[in-house]
Amino acid sequence: MKRRAVYLINTVLLFTGSPVFAWQQPSSCSGVYAAMIEKLEANYIGLHHYQDMGKGTDYDQLKKEYEGLTKDIVLSGCTEVLQEFLNFFEDGHLFVTEFPDFSQNQKDSLKDYSRGIMTSDQVEKQLNSQSSIELTDGDKIIGRYSDLDSEISVIKRGEFYDAFIVKTKKEGTLEGELKARFRWTGDGYKINYHTYDSTSRFLTGDLYKENTLLKISGGVSWVKLDSPNEKELEMINWDEGLRAPKIMMMDENTVLFSVPSWNLNYQDFVALVRKNRDTLLNATTLILDIRGNTGGNGIYFPFFYVFADRNMPGGQGHVLASPDNEKYFKRNLQFSKDIYGPVVEAIQNNMGEIVDGPQYPGRKFKQSKRSKVKNVAILTDGACMSAAESFILHAKGASTKVKTFGSPTRGVIDYTSIFMVRLESGDQKIMFGYPTGTLNKDIPSNGYNKTGIVPDVPISEDVEDKVAFIMDYYRKGK
C-alpha cells in the first residue's frame, strides 16, 4: 500500500506539473480530503456494508496513508488523488469531479501553453508516422477524432497521448491547440482535459463500441474517424449529436435502435419513438445497441409498449440516514410525497442508521396489439453503467422476449440515486458524488457491481460486426 501511495505522488505531480499550472500553490488538498472523508463516512451506505463485512481495517489504513499523501499535492492535482482513494470501493457511483473557476490571466496562460507545443501540420505528420506502429493497449487511442465541433488528432509523446485540434469551427479556438493529455493506467485513461472556455479539468475515460467511441467523464464524447469498422460509424447520429439515438432498418424484419447515452431530453426521445412507431412495431427482431452508454436518466419507459408482455414488479432498497440524504429525499418530495415522504420521516427519526428506502410501485405495461416484435436483443459492452444497467433490468422485468448480448456491463448499479455536495476547495470547485441508497435490500450480496450484468449470449471481442452476429443468431432460430 505504501508503494502505491508513493507512485501516486510521482504521477500526479508529473501529470499536472506543466507550466499551465504554475499559479497553483501547494496547500489545501489535505483540507479537501478531510472534508470528503467526513461526507463519505456520514453518507455512503457502501462504507457501512464494507465495515460490516469485517474489512474496516483496510479502509482505516488507506485513510491514514492518504492523510499524508494529500499534504504534498497541489490543489490542481487534488481531484485525481481523491478519485484514486475512492476507487478503493470499486463503485462507479462514488466519485469526485471538478469545475475550476479560472481567472482571465489563468485562461490566457492555458491558451499560451496549449498553442505553443506543435502546429497542426506537425501533429498530422507525427500521427502518420505512428499509424503503422505495433499498438499496445494504451496506444489504441492514437488516431483521428471528432467531437462535432473540432477534428482532433491523438499522438503519442513520451508516456503521454496528446490530443491536438487540427480543424475547428469553434470560435476562439485555433488549429494546433492542445485539447487533452491522456495517460494509460491499465484500466482506462486519466485525462487532463482543456475545455473550450480555456479551463482545465481532471477527467477519466476509455474507448468503447469497438474502439469507435471515446467516452470521457463529464459528458464528453469523441467518435474515432479512422475506425476500421465503418458500420459502427454509420450508427452515429451525425446530425443530432454523439449522444443522440438513431433508428435504422437492417433488413425487412430487423430494426437497430442505437442509444449511446440515456443523458437525453425526455420529450425528444418520446418524439423519436412516436415518429418511428410503425418501423418499431413492424419489426420481428429489435436490436437495442447500448454499447458506450454510460447512463443518464430513466426516460425509456414510454418505449416499452413496443415489446412489453408482462407487468414489471416494484422494488425497494436501503438508505443511510444522514442530514445530506435527508436533503436529497426532501428535494424528491416534489415528484411524489407518497414515495419519498416515508423515507424522509424514517431518516429524521433514525439518524446514523440504515433505514428503508423509497418503495417504488410496479409498472403495468400493455404491448401494442400492432406489435410484431418477437425478439428483443440488448447489445452491451463494458461502458454500460448506471441508467444503462437499469434499462437492462427494467426491460427484462417487463418482457420475456429480452436477451442480452455482447460483454458484461461495468457493474455500477448496486448503489444508486446520486447526490452531489460541494467540498470546500476554493476556485477548484470540487464536488463529491455518492449514491444515496441500494438497488435492493439484499445488497451487497445480491448485486452486479462485482461482475457487471453478464450477457445471456456472450459475443467474443474478436467478432467485428456484433449486430450481424445477433441477426444471424435469430435467423438460425435460437
> Greater confidence, 323 or 364?
323
CA distance 77 to 17: 9
Last residue of a domain, one of 161, 194, 224: 224
> What integer pLDDT is reported at residue 455 of this predicted model?
98
Any idea what the Cα angle at residue 204 is, between residues 201 and 418, rounded to 5°? 90
> What integer pLDDT is reported at residue 9 of this predicted model?
37
The reply to whether 284 and 399 lie within a common domain is yes
Give a yes or no: residue 443 inside a domain: no
Statement: residue 13 has pLDDT above 70: no
> What integer pLDDT is reported at residue 257 of this predicted model?
97
Q: What is the pLDDT averaged over residues 267-291?
A: 96
Statement: residue 5 has pLDDT above 80: no
State which residues form the domain around 84. Answer: 2-89+419-436
> What integer pLDDT is reported at residue 102 of this predicted model?
94
Give a yes or no: residue 202 inside a domain: yes
Statement: residue 220 has pLDDT above 70: yes
Statement: residue 433 has pLDDT above 80: yes
Q: How many CA atoms lie within 13 A of 297 on its CB side?
A: 7
The reply to whether 242 and 182 lie within a common domain is no
112-125 per-position pLDDT tens digit: 999 999 999 999 99
Does residue 30 contact residue 70 with C-beta atoms inside 8 Å?
yes
> What integer pLDDT is reported at residue 284 of this predicted model?
97
At how many degrees (to 10) do helices 29-43 and 56-69 cross? 160
How many helices and strands in the chain, by DSSP H and E? Answer: 14, 19
The reply to whether 168 and 49 lie within a common domain is no
Buried b (16+ CB within 10 A) or exposed e, 435-455: bbbbbbeebbeebbbeebbeb
Q: What is the pLDDT averaged over residues 381-387?
A: 96
Statement: residue 212 has pLDDT above 70: yes
Statement: residue 8 has pLDDT above 90: no
Percent of the chain at pLDDT > 90 equals 84
Give a yes or no: residue 97 inside a domain: no
Give a yes or no: residue 425 inside a domain: yes
What strand order describes the sheet that includes 375-380? 246-251, 254-258, 285-289, 375-380, 402-406, 457-458
* pTM for this model (two decimals): 0.91
Q: What is the pLDDT averaged over residues 237-260?
A: 94
28-38 per-position pLDDT tens digit: 799 999 999 99
Phi and psi torsions of 281, nearest 5°: -70, -30
Give a yes or no: residue 441 inside a domain: no
Statement: residue 12 has pLDDT above 50: no
Statement: residue 149 has pLDDT above 60: yes
440: which DSSP letter? S
Mean pLDDT rounded to a whole number for the chain: 91
Domain count within the chain: 4
CATH of the domain at 261: 3.90.226.10
> What integer pLDDT is reported at residue 27 of this predicted model?
57
Give a yes or no: residue 99 inside a domain: no
> What integer pLDDT is reported at residue 230 of this predicted model?
83
The reply to whether 375 and 243 lie within a common domain is yes
CATH of the domain at 135: 2.40.128
The reply to whether 383 and 467 lie within a common domain is yes
> What integer pLDDT is reported at residue 231 of this predicted model?
85
CA distance 249 to 232: 14
Which residue has cell 477524432?
145
Statement: residue 7 has pLDDT above 70: no
Give a yes or no: residue 293 inside a domain: yes
> Which of 193, 216, 192, 178 lies closest to 12 in space, CA to CA?
192
Q: How many CA atoms lie within 13 A of 180 on its CB side?
A: 30
Give a yes or no: residue 229 inside a domain: no
**Cis geometry, peptide bond prior to residue 444 (ω within 30 degrees of 0):** yes
Q: Indicate the pLDDT class of residue 137, thresholds 50, 70 and 90.
A: confident
